[in-house]
Structures are given as C-alpha cells and as structure tokens.
C-alpha cells in the first residue's frame, strides 16, 4: 500500500534492523524501543488488523513469533515477555499495517502487566454480557 511505512520495510525500500523472517512475516527492531530487543512482527503483505489476517497464515506467524522469542532469549538473556497488539486506534494502533509487539521484560524494568492497559470494568453483570455475546453465536 502506498505511503505505508511497514509495506516499505517489508519491501526493504526503507532500512530496518531485521532479525528474522518467514515466508509471510518479518521481524524487525522497533525504532523507538520500550525495552532492549523490542521487536515488531509484520505480514509482508498489507493487512490493517489482526482480524484481517488470513487464518492460513497462522502457522507461519506463530513460527516467527516463537523464533523471535528464542533469539531474544538466547541473546539478551530473558525469557519474560509482554506480547501484544494495539488493534484499532482506540487501543493505540498508530501504524495501520498489522504488527505484533514482542517486548522483552526484565526485572525492575518499571513495566506492568497487561491488566494495567485498561481500567473500564463493565456496569453490567457477567451474565448480561455473556447473553449479549451468545445472541450472535451461530
Ligand atoms: P502501534 O502504536 O501502532 O502499535 O506501534 C507502532 C510502532 O511502530 C511504534 O512502537 C513505533 O516506534 C514503530 N515504528 C513506527 N515507524 C517505524 C519505522 O519506520 N521503523 C521501525 N523500525 N519502527 C517503526
Ligand atoms: Zn502496509
């Protein structure tokens, strides 16, 4: 896609520190790392969101996430990670080309768990929420 920085990285039109690659995905260092080894994993083709990824790319994606974790584990000496996706602008997605964050975690790194990302407990009961979801289950 025109003007998409991650398409340009995937086509190697702009430089990045690529640490691993699979048939359909690329793993490269985030330009503004929140931790040593902060890595992004992107599809080589343009998909905006996780929910847009063709399911048959699942194995290849999982392979590259685990490969990236393994490389960081061996080189940077941690096997603790926060793994995640900012899916949509409300959730903090800035670059509109799907990317999966691999953030290595170290003791005393001032970070938190994913529970700290949002604090919006529902007004409705779990049963009400469950029943709403069940209405759209096929
Ligand atoms: P988001 O908030 O969309 O989940 O995060 C986008 C991430 O992409 C940010 O962490 C940002 O630092 C990273 N990023 C944006 N542009 C570039 C770039 O041109 N190269 C690299 N390596 N990372 C980028
Ligand atoms: Zn793109």
Residue 31's Cβ-count burial label (10 Å; 0-12, 13-18, 19+) is exposed
Looking at the CA of residue 96, tell me the nearest atom of ligand 1: 3
Question: What is the per-residue pLDDT across 39-54, written as a single tens digit (0 to 9) for each?
Answer: 999 999 999 999 999 9
Question: What is the per-residue pLDDT across 92-114, written as a single tens digit (0 to 9) for each?
Answer: 999 999 999 999 999 999 999 99
Ligand whose nearest atom lies closest to the CA of 39: 1
Question: What is the per-residue pLDDT across 74-91, written as a single tens digit (0 to 9) for each?
Answer: 999 999 999 999 999 999
Q: Ligand 1: does its nearest atom lie under 6 Å from the Cβ of 16? A: yes
**Residue whose CA lies nearest to ligand 1 atom number 18:** 31
Residues 6+ apart with CB under 8 A from 87: 49, 50, 51, 93
Q: Ligand 1: does its nearest atom lie under 6 Å from the Cβ of 36? A: no
pTM of the model: 0.97
At 138 the pLDDT is: 87
Give the containing element (helix H, strand E) for 71: helix 58-76
Reduced to 3 states (helix: H, G, I; strand: E, B; else coil), residue 67 is helix
């Amino acid at each position: 896609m025109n003007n998409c920085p991650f398409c340009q990285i995937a086509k190697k039109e702009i430089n990045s520190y690529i640490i691993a690659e699979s048939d359909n995905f690329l793993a490269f260092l985030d330009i503004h790392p929140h931790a040593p080894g902060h890595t992004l994993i992107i599809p080589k083709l343009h998909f905006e969101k996780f929910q847009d990824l063709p399911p048959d790319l699942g194995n290849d994606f999982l392979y590259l996430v685990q490969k990236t974790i393994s490389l960081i584990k061996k080189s940077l000496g941690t096997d603790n990670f926060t793994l995640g996706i900012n899916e949509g602008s409300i959730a903090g997605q800035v670059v509109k080309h799907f990317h999966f964050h691999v953030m290595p975690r170290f003791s005393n790194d001032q970070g938190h768990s994913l529970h700290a990302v949002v604090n919006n407990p529902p007004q409705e009961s779990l049963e009400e929420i469950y029943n709403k979801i069940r209405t759209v289950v096929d």
